[in-house]
Amino acid sequence: MEQYNQDKNPIETNNRDNRDERDEPMTVYRYDSSNKLMNVRSAYEEELASADRAADGPNRGNRGKRPGGMPLKTMLASFLVGALVVGGLSFMSDRMNLFTGGASSAIESGGNSYSAALGLTTASLSSGENNASVFDQANPAVVEIENYGNPSDQYGANLFGGRGGWMGRQQLQQQQQSSEPELVGTGTGFFIDKSGYILTNQHVIADATELKVTVPGYDGKLTAKVVNADEQLDLAVLKVESPDGKDFPALTLGDSDQTKVGDEVIAIGNPYGLDHTMTIGILSAKERPITIQEDDGTEHPYEHLLQTDAAINPGNSGGPLLNAQGEVIGMNTAVNAEAQGIGFAISSATIQNALKELMSGTTNLSF
Protein backbone atom coordinates (compact mmCIF):
# COMPACT_ATOMS: atom_id res chain seq x y z
CA MET A 1 0.00 0.00 0.00
CA GLU A 2 1.37 3.41 -0.99
CA GLN A 3 1.93 5.73 2.01
CA TYR A 4 0.90 9.42 2.05
CA ASN A 5 2.21 11.48 4.94
CA GLN A 6 -0.74 13.86 4.85
CA ASP A 7 -3.25 11.00 5.22
CA LYS A 8 -1.57 8.54 7.55
CA ASN A 9 0.37 9.13 10.74
CA PRO A 10 2.87 6.39 11.60
CA ILE A 11 2.83 5.56 15.30
CA GLU A 12 5.65 3.48 16.71
CA THR A 13 4.70 1.21 19.61
CA ASN A 14 6.66 -1.30 21.66
CA ASN A 15 4.54 -4.18 22.98
CA ARG A 16 6.75 -5.35 25.83
CA ASP A 17 4.22 -7.90 27.10
CA ASN A 18 4.02 -10.07 23.96
CA ARG A 19 7.28 -9.41 22.08
CA ASP A 20 10.96 -9.79 22.89
CA GLU A 21 12.84 -6.60 23.80
CA ARG A 22 15.26 -7.25 20.95
CA ASP A 23 12.47 -7.01 18.35
CA GLU A 24 12.18 -3.93 16.24
CA PRO A 25 9.35 -1.50 17.08
CA MET A 26 6.10 -2.29 15.26
CA THR A 27 4.69 0.44 13.02
CA VAL A 28 0.92 0.97 13.12
CA TYR A 29 -0.89 3.13 10.57
CA ARG A 30 -4.02 5.03 11.46
CA TYR A 31 -6.17 6.85 8.93
CA ASP A 32 -6.67 10.46 10.06
CA SER A 33 -9.55 12.05 8.15
CA SER A 34 -9.14 15.38 10.01
CA ASN A 35 -5.65 15.82 8.52
CA LYS A 36 -7.09 15.16 5.08
CA LEU A 37 -9.72 17.86 5.57
CA MET A 38 -7.18 20.39 6.90
CA ASN A 39 -4.91 19.81 3.90
CA VAL A 40 -7.79 20.40 1.48
CA ARG A 41 -8.77 23.56 3.32
CA SER A 42 -5.18 24.88 3.29
CA ALA A 43 -4.93 24.24 -0.43
CA TYR A 44 -8.09 26.22 -1.14
CA GLU A 45 -7.02 29.10 1.09
CA GLU A 46 -3.72 29.30 -0.74
CA GLU A 47 -5.59 29.29 -4.04
CA LEU A 48 -7.78 32.17 -2.84
CA ALA A 49 -4.75 34.17 -1.79
CA SER A 50 -3.16 33.65 -5.20
CA ALA A 51 -6.36 34.86 -6.85
CA ASP A 52 -6.31 38.05 -4.72
CA ARG A 53 -2.73 38.78 -5.67
CA ALA A 54 -3.48 38.22 -9.34
CA ALA A 55 -6.43 40.59 -9.13
CA ASP A 56 -4.24 43.52 -7.88
CA GLY A 57 -3.51 45.31 -11.15
CA PRO A 58 -3.89 48.65 -12.92
CA ASN A 59 -7.68 48.38 -12.93
CA ARG A 60 -8.22 48.45 -9.15
CA GLY A 61 -11.82 49.41 -9.57
CA ASN A 62 -12.55 46.01 -11.07
CA ARG A 63 -10.19 44.07 -8.82
CA GLY A 64 -11.39 40.57 -8.02
CA LYS A 65 -14.22 40.71 -10.54
CA ARG A 66 -14.86 38.53 -13.55
CA PRO A 67 -16.24 40.00 -16.78
CA GLY A 68 -19.68 38.81 -15.73
CA GLY A 69 -19.57 40.92 -12.62
CA MET A 70 -19.21 38.20 -9.90
CA PRO A 71 -16.10 38.65 -7.68
CA LEU A 72 -13.57 35.89 -8.25
CA LYS A 73 -13.07 35.45 -4.52
CA THR A 74 -16.79 34.93 -4.01
CA MET A 75 -16.87 32.34 -6.78
CA LEU A 76 -13.95 30.37 -5.31
CA ALA A 77 -15.40 30.58 -1.82
CA SER A 78 -18.71 29.19 -3.07
CA PHE A 79 -16.91 26.39 -4.83
CA LEU A 80 -15.01 25.57 -1.63
CA VAL A 81 -18.18 25.45 0.46
CA GLY A 82 -19.91 23.27 -2.10
CA ALA A 83 -16.97 20.86 -2.28
CA LEU A 84 -16.81 20.55 1.49
CA VAL A 85 -20.56 19.96 1.79
CA VAL A 86 -20.66 17.34 -0.99
CA GLY A 87 -17.56 15.61 0.33
CA GLY A 88 -18.95 15.51 3.86
CA LEU A 89 -22.30 14.16 2.73
CA SER A 90 -20.61 11.49 0.62
CA PHE A 91 -18.45 10.42 3.54
CA MET A 92 -21.39 10.23 5.94
CA SER A 93 -23.62 8.37 3.48
CA ASP A 94 -20.90 5.80 2.92
CA ARG A 95 -20.39 5.26 6.63
CA MET A 96 -24.14 4.96 7.26
CA ASN A 97 -24.86 2.83 4.14
CA LEU A 98 -27.55 5.29 3.04
CA PHE A 99 -27.20 4.42 -0.64
CA THR A 100 -26.42 0.68 -0.33
CA GLY A 101 -29.40 -0.17 1.86
CA GLY A 102 -27.24 -2.30 4.16
CA ALA A 103 -25.67 -4.28 1.34
CA SER A 104 -22.48 -4.78 3.34
CA SER A 105 -24.46 -6.44 6.11
CA ALA A 106 -26.09 -8.73 3.57
CA ILE A 107 -22.69 -9.76 2.25
CA GLU A 108 -21.34 -10.45 5.73
CA SER A 109 -24.38 -12.55 6.60
CA GLY A 110 -24.23 -14.51 3.35
CA GLY A 111 -27.35 -12.90 1.91
CA ASN A 112 -28.07 -11.61 -1.56
CA SER A 113 -26.19 -8.30 -1.78
CA TYR A 114 -27.88 -7.34 -5.03
CA SER A 115 -31.37 -7.71 -3.57
CA ALA A 116 -30.33 -5.86 -0.42
CA ALA A 117 -28.86 -2.96 -2.36
CA LEU A 118 -32.04 -2.59 -4.38
CA GLY A 119 -34.25 -3.00 -1.34
CA LEU A 120 -35.87 -6.13 -2.80
CA THR A 121 -37.06 -9.20 -0.96
CA THR A 122 -36.75 -12.52 -2.80
CA ALA A 123 -38.73 -15.61 -1.81
CA SER A 124 -36.58 -18.49 -3.03
CA LEU A 125 -37.30 -22.19 -2.46
CA SER A 126 -34.24 -23.97 -1.11
CA SER A 127 -33.20 -27.35 -2.43
CA GLY A 128 -34.10 -29.01 0.87
CA GLU A 129 -37.60 -27.55 0.88
CA ASN A 130 -38.18 -28.58 -2.72
CA ASN A 131 -37.02 -32.15 -2.04
CA ALA A 132 -39.35 -32.38 0.94
CA SER A 133 -42.21 -31.17 -1.24
CA VAL A 134 -41.43 -33.79 -3.90
CA PHE A 135 -41.38 -36.52 -1.26
CA ASP A 136 -44.69 -35.42 0.26
CA GLN A 137 -46.28 -35.42 -3.17
CA ALA A 138 -44.86 -38.72 -4.44
CA ASN A 139 -44.63 -40.88 -1.33
CA PRO A 140 -48.38 -41.78 -1.08
CA ALA A 141 -48.13 -43.42 -4.52
CA VAL A 142 -45.13 -45.60 -3.59
CA VAL A 143 -45.99 -49.09 -2.30
CA GLU A 144 -44.17 -52.01 -0.71
CA ILE A 145 -44.54 -55.35 -2.48
CA GLU A 146 -44.16 -58.70 -0.70
CA ASN A 147 -43.41 -61.81 -2.72
CA TYR A 148 -44.76 -65.05 -1.22
CA GLY A 149 -43.60 -68.30 -2.75
CA ASN A 150 -41.48 -71.41 -2.26
CA PRO A 151 -38.01 -70.41 -1.04
CA SER A 152 -34.94 -71.76 -2.83
CA ASP A 153 -31.36 -72.08 -1.65
CA GLN A 154 -30.17 -69.48 -4.14
CA TYR A 155 -29.47 -65.99 -2.97
CA GLY A 156 -28.49 -63.46 -5.61
CA ALA A 157 -26.67 -60.25 -4.78
CA ASN A 158 -26.47 -58.37 -8.04
CA LEU A 159 -30.12 -57.36 -8.37
CA PHE A 160 -31.14 -55.74 -5.10
CA GLY A 161 -30.97 -58.92 -3.06
CA GLY A 162 -31.88 -61.29 -5.87
CA ARG A 163 -35.33 -62.57 -6.66
CA GLY A 164 -38.13 -60.65 -5.02
CA GLY A 165 -35.88 -57.97 -3.57
CA TRP A 166 -34.52 -58.23 -0.03
CA MET A 167 -34.47 -61.25 2.22
CA GLY A 168 -31.83 -62.29 4.74
CA ARG A 169 -30.05 -65.62 4.18
CA GLN A 170 -30.79 -66.95 7.67
CA GLN A 171 -34.49 -66.12 7.42
CA LEU A 172 -34.63 -67.65 3.94
CA GLN A 173 -33.09 -70.94 5.17
CA GLN A 174 -35.52 -71.14 8.08
CA GLN A 175 -38.48 -70.81 5.74
CA GLN A 176 -37.29 -73.66 3.52
CA GLN A 177 -38.52 -76.13 6.14
CA SER A 178 -42.13 -75.11 5.46
CA SER A 179 -44.16 -76.27 2.46
CA GLU A 180 -46.52 -73.31 2.75
CA PRO A 181 -45.85 -70.20 0.71
CA GLU A 182 -43.52 -67.96 2.66
CA LEU A 183 -42.22 -64.42 2.28
CA VAL A 184 -39.41 -64.76 -0.21
CA GLY A 185 -38.52 -61.09 -0.49
CA THR A 186 -39.73 -57.53 -0.72
CA GLY A 187 -39.51 -54.80 -3.31
CA THR A 188 -41.06 -51.51 -4.30
CA GLY A 189 -43.62 -50.33 -6.82
CA PHE A 190 -45.65 -47.21 -7.59
CA PHE A 191 -49.08 -46.40 -8.93
CA ILE A 192 -49.16 -45.30 -12.55
CA ASP A 193 -52.94 -45.07 -12.71
CA LYS A 194 -55.55 -43.99 -10.15
CA SER A 195 -57.61 -47.14 -10.76
CA GLY A 196 -54.94 -49.28 -9.07
CA TYR A 197 -52.30 -50.22 -11.65
CA ILE A 198 -48.82 -50.59 -10.16
CA LEU A 199 -45.52 -50.64 -12.01
CA THR A 200 -42.56 -52.62 -10.64
CA ASN A 201 -39.66 -54.86 -11.69
CA GLN A 202 -40.35 -58.30 -13.05
CA HIS A 203 -37.70 -59.80 -10.77
CA VAL A 204 -39.58 -58.46 -7.73
CA ILE A 205 -42.63 -60.61 -8.48
CA ALA A 206 -40.89 -63.57 -10.17
CA ASP A 207 -42.24 -67.04 -9.23
CA ALA A 208 -44.65 -65.59 -6.70
CA THR A 209 -47.65 -67.61 -5.63
CA GLU A 210 -49.12 -64.58 -3.88
CA LEU A 211 -48.37 -60.85 -3.88
CA LYS A 212 -49.23 -58.53 -1.00
CA VAL A 213 -49.06 -54.76 -1.36
CA THR A 214 -48.86 -52.22 1.45
CA VAL A 215 -50.40 -48.91 0.40
CA PRO A 216 -49.90 -45.75 2.52
CA GLY A 217 -53.12 -44.73 4.24
CA TYR A 218 -54.74 -48.18 4.10
CA ASP A 219 -55.00 -50.60 6.99
CA GLY A 220 -53.90 -54.10 6.14
CA LYS A 221 -52.31 -55.39 2.96
CA LEU A 222 -53.96 -55.57 -0.43
CA THR A 223 -53.71 -58.62 -2.66
CA ALA A 224 -52.32 -57.85 -6.11
CA LYS A 225 -52.64 -59.76 -9.35
CA VAL A 226 -50.19 -59.69 -12.23
CA VAL A 227 -51.58 -57.95 -15.31
CA ASN A 228 -48.54 -58.49 -17.50
CA ALA A 229 -44.76 -58.79 -17.27
CA ASP A 230 -41.73 -58.53 -19.54
CA GLU A 231 -38.77 -60.51 -18.26
CA GLN A 232 -36.38 -59.12 -20.85
CA LEU A 233 -37.11 -55.50 -19.94
CA ASP A 234 -37.59 -56.45 -16.27
CA LEU A 235 -40.96 -54.69 -16.08
CA ALA A 236 -44.25 -55.83 -14.56
CA VAL A 237 -47.70 -54.33 -14.07
CA LEU A 238 -49.86 -55.29 -11.06
CA LYS A 239 -53.45 -54.43 -10.18
CA VAL A 240 -55.05 -53.90 -6.76
CA GLU A 241 -58.64 -53.02 -5.93
CA SER A 242 -59.49 -50.09 -3.70
CA PRO A 243 -61.21 -51.26 -0.47
CA ASP A 244 -63.21 -48.03 -0.16
CA GLY A 245 -63.76 -47.38 -3.86
CA LYS A 246 -61.59 -44.26 -3.83
CA ASP A 247 -58.93 -43.47 -6.41
CA PHE A 248 -55.31 -44.23 -5.63
CA PRO A 249 -52.66 -41.50 -5.90
CA ALA A 250 -50.62 -41.95 -9.08
CA LEU A 251 -47.28 -40.63 -10.29
CA THR A 252 -46.69 -38.95 -13.63
CA LEU A 253 -44.18 -40.37 -16.08
CA GLY A 254 -41.67 -37.72 -17.15
CA ASP A 255 -39.43 -37.60 -20.21
CA SER A 256 -36.03 -39.11 -19.45
CA ASP A 257 -34.76 -37.94 -22.85
CA GLN A 258 -34.98 -34.35 -21.58
CA THR A 259 -32.86 -35.02 -18.51
CA LYS A 260 -29.23 -33.95 -18.35
CA VAL A 261 -26.24 -35.42 -16.57
CA GLY A 262 -25.91 -33.50 -13.32
CA ASP A 263 -29.66 -33.08 -12.76
CA GLU A 264 -30.76 -33.78 -9.20
CA VAL A 265 -32.77 -36.97 -8.75
CA ILE A 266 -34.71 -38.52 -5.87
CA ALA A 267 -35.21 -42.23 -5.18
CA ILE A 268 -37.99 -43.56 -2.94
CA GLY A 269 -38.21 -47.20 -1.92
CA ASN A 270 -37.98 -49.84 0.81
CA PRO A 271 -34.27 -50.72 1.16
CA TYR A 272 -33.67 -53.65 3.52
CA GLY A 273 -37.28 -53.43 4.69
CA LEU A 274 -36.97 -49.77 5.74
CA ASP A 275 -40.16 -48.60 4.12
CA HIS A 276 -40.52 -45.26 2.36
CA THR A 277 -36.88 -44.23 2.41
CA MET A 278 -35.87 -41.22 0.34
CA THR A 279 -32.36 -40.70 -0.99
CA ILE A 280 -30.99 -37.90 -3.14
CA GLY A 281 -28.28 -37.78 -5.79
CA ILE A 282 -27.61 -36.68 -9.32
CA LEU A 283 -28.01 -38.24 -12.74
CA SER A 284 -24.51 -39.60 -13.29
CA ALA A 285 -24.87 -40.88 -16.86
CA LYS A 286 -27.39 -41.92 -19.51
CA GLU A 287 -27.67 -44.78 -22.01
CA ARG A 288 -25.67 -47.21 -19.85
CA PRO A 289 -25.59 -50.88 -20.98
CA ILE A 290 -24.92 -53.44 -18.22
CA THR A 291 -25.15 -57.21 -17.85
CA ILE A 292 -26.48 -58.88 -14.70
CA GLN A 293 -25.85 -62.50 -13.76
CA GLU A 294 -29.06 -64.18 -12.61
CA ASP A 295 -29.42 -66.71 -9.79
CA ASP A 296 -29.21 -69.63 -12.23
CA GLY A 297 -26.00 -68.30 -13.81
CA THR A 298 -27.58 -66.89 -16.94
CA GLU A 299 -26.76 -63.36 -18.01
CA HIS A 300 -29.36 -60.63 -18.40
CA PRO A 301 -28.33 -57.65 -20.55
CA TYR A 302 -29.87 -54.23 -19.93
CA GLU A 303 -29.70 -51.26 -22.27
CA HIS A 304 -30.50 -47.54 -22.16
CA LEU A 305 -30.21 -47.38 -18.37
CA LEU A 306 -29.86 -44.24 -16.29
CA GLN A 307 -26.94 -44.19 -13.86
CA THR A 308 -27.26 -42.37 -10.55
CA ASP A 309 -25.33 -41.95 -7.32
CA ALA A 310 -28.53 -41.73 -5.23
CA ALA A 311 -28.21 -44.40 -2.54
CA ILE A 312 -30.23 -47.44 -3.58
CA ASN A 313 -30.03 -50.85 -1.92
CA PRO A 314 -31.75 -54.25 -1.91
CA GLY A 315 -35.48 -53.54 -1.62
CA ASN A 316 -35.40 -50.42 -3.80
CA SER A 317 -36.18 -52.53 -6.87
CA GLY A 318 -39.22 -51.20 -8.70
CA GLY A 319 -39.20 -47.85 -6.93
CA PRO A 320 -39.40 -44.52 -8.76
CA LEU A 321 -36.48 -42.29 -9.67
CA LEU A 322 -37.89 -38.75 -9.68
CA ASN A 323 -36.77 -35.43 -11.09
CA ALA A 324 -37.07 -32.09 -9.27
CA GLN A 325 -40.68 -31.75 -10.46
CA GLY A 326 -41.71 -35.09 -8.94
CA GLU A 327 -42.02 -36.84 -12.31
CA VAL A 328 -40.85 -40.42 -12.78
CA ILE A 329 -37.83 -40.45 -15.08
CA GLY A 330 -36.79 -44.00 -14.23
CA MET A 331 -37.38 -47.17 -12.21
CA ASN A 332 -34.62 -48.26 -9.84
CA THR A 333 -33.47 -51.68 -11.02
CA ALA A 334 -29.88 -52.65 -10.27
CA VAL A 335 -26.90 -51.68 -8.18
CA ASN A 336 -23.24 -52.57 -8.44
CA ALA A 337 -22.61 -54.59 -5.29
CA GLU A 338 -18.85 -53.99 -5.52
CA ALA A 339 -19.05 -50.20 -5.68
CA GLN A 340 -20.58 -47.23 -3.91
CA GLY A 341 -22.73 -44.59 -5.52
CA ILE A 342 -23.36 -46.59 -8.72
CA GLY A 343 -26.99 -47.51 -9.28
CA PHE A 344 -29.08 -47.99 -12.39
CA ALA A 345 -32.67 -47.29 -13.40
CA ILE A 346 -34.81 -48.19 -16.39
CA SER A 347 -35.53 -44.95 -18.21
CA SER A 348 -39.05 -43.61 -18.49
CA ALA A 349 -38.65 -43.58 -22.27
CA THR A 350 -38.22 -47.36 -22.20
CA ILE A 351 -41.13 -47.71 -19.79
CA GLN A 352 -43.45 -45.62 -21.95
CA ASN A 353 -42.77 -47.77 -25.01
CA ALA A 354 -43.24 -51.01 -23.06
CA LEU A 355 -46.50 -49.91 -21.42
CA LYS A 356 -48.26 -49.79 -24.77
CA GLU A 357 -47.85 -53.55 -25.05
CA LEU A 358 -48.06 -54.39 -21.35
CA MET A 359 -51.38 -52.57 -21.03
CA SER A 360 -52.85 -53.60 -24.39
CA GLY A 361 -56.56 -54.31 -24.10
CA THR A 362 -56.84 -52.15 -20.97
CA THR A 363 -59.02 -49.06 -21.31
CA ASN A 364 -59.77 -45.89 -19.34
CA LEU A 365 -56.21 -45.38 -18.16
CA SER A 366 -54.99 -42.02 -16.87
CA PHE A 367 -51.42 -42.24 -18.20
113, 234, 256, 347: the active-site residue = 234
Straight-line distance from the first to the last Cα atom of the chain, in angstroms, rounded to the nearest whole number: 69
Name residue 344's beta-bridge partners: 307, 334
Per DSSP, the three-state class of 134 is helix
113, 256, 284, 317: the active-site residue = 317
- Report d(CA 121, CA 139) in Å as an integer: 33
E-strand ranges in 231-356 read 235-239, 264-269, 277-293, 299-308, 320-322, 328-335, 343-347
Neighbours of 199 (CB within 10 A): 26
| DSSP at 249 | P
Per DSSP, the three-state class of 123 is coil
203 close to 242: Cβ distance less than 8 angstroms = no
- 178: annotated active-site residue: no
What lies within 8 Å, CB to CB, of 298 at 6+ separation is none
203, 256, 284, 348: the active-site residue = 203
- 179: annotated active-site residue: no
- 234: annotated active-site residue: yes
Nearest one of 288, 292, 341 to 312, comparing CA atoms: 341
- Report d(CA 317, CA 69) in Å as an integer: 95
The residues annotated as belonging to the active site are 203, 234, 317
